[in-house]
Amino acid sequence: MKRVSLASETITRTDLEMASAWLLSGAQLTKGPETLKFETQFASRIGSKYAVYVNSGSSANLLVASALLQSNYLRNKRVICPAVSWVTTVTPFIQLGFEVFLCDADENSLGLDVDHLERLIEEHDPGVIVLVHVLGHPNDMARIRDLADQNDILLVEDTCEALGTTIPEGQGLGTLGLAGTFSLYYGHHISTIEGGMVVTDDYDFFQLALSIRSHGWSRDLGEETRHQLASINGVDPFRNLYTFYYEGFNLRPTDFQAVLGQVQLGHLGRIIDSRQSNFLFYRELLSKYWSQESEFDTISSFAYGTLVADPQRVAAELSSKGVESRPLICGNIARQPFWLKNHSRIPYPVADIVHDHGIYLPNHAELSLEDI
């Protein structure tokens, strides 16, 4: 019996042979020139000015949360996050002392429910909105951006499930707010084994993120920014390489991963095309079932999500036929044990439906229409 898996390795034999040759060449393995090349190529492919490569998509979210906290951009430490999202979309803000409010999901796209979002803004006056483009589908970006502009709120896009999706205006997801994050983990659109990326058009935010990624020092920064920090803080050249200007982490990747990433970018167009074709074919065959709907130019579908009466029973039946499935992301964040330790359970109507009835089916570039 043929197995149909949820994900497929995007790193090909040819990629591995190239990487092996590079490894044996004696090149620098730790973060260095190949990381800079990959960041430049990724930013260009996505349509952003700057990119910061890190060791995971979760680290990308942590880096953004920390950079927001240490910037002068925040009006307050209140943030709205999606109820249908991922644990490390939400927890970096909790860990760094933000007050987090969850927003219910839109019944069509599973992004933010804009009506609920508007009520939360009126009630809590947040400084930041974080959104997730669920399974590759755009949020209602026109309305969300209008609300953010009208209320002086910073926008952050968790785009870990949507690398390559574009909205009708032609812009790529992840480039529509102050910062966007991406995951390059196995099973995502492209893979560097582990890895993530932060993109932004804001130079100061970019410089801050570079510093926080590497301990909070200034080594990776532009020359002008480096000299400015040293001058303001009275740091001499001897001590500058070991002076920490921000509260930093070590979220660095390796140049080996960056070399893989550069090759992976060459596969991205084919991968997006395949994932879009698969999504449209699923929707045709499962026309009697609920399907995500959103406004997109290109949909870089992460998986095919739908709703069934008894997901556990359906998953067992699929497994008996050799087909993998799983809950739709992780259901409702507000029903996860970590959240309920410090919050009472309240209803989120759409997110609760996703939690109780959501399932998603495989979609990846190696999945054929016959497999579907």
Show the CA angle centred on residue 227, arms to residues 221 and 233, nearest 5°: 110
Q: 211 exposed, middle or buried (CB, 10 Å; 0-12, 13-18, 19+)?
A: buried
- Residue 357: phi and psi, rounded to 5, are -130, -5
DSSP tag of 106: P
Of 32, 58, 364, 331, nearest to 185 (Cα)? 58
Partner residues linked to 166 by β-bridges: 172, 298
124: annotated active-site residue:
no
Residue with tokens 């949820």: 6
Structural tokens at position 100: 């987090």
The most distant pair of C-alpha atoms in the chain lies apart, rounded to whole Å, by: 69
- β-pairing, 50-54 vs 78-82, is unpaired
Q: What is the DSSP string of 250-303?
A: B---BHHHHHHHHHHHTTHHHHHHHHHHHHHHHHHHTTTS-------SB---S-
- β-pairing, 78-82 vs 128-132, is parallel
Please pick, among 188, 215, 355, 364, the residue that the annotation labels catalytic: 188
> Taking the C-alpha atoms of 226, 232, 237 and 241 in order, what is their torsion angle to the nearest 10 degrees?
-50
DSSP tag of 334: G
Distance CA 332, CA 103 (A): 10
Q: Which residues are catalytic?
A: 188
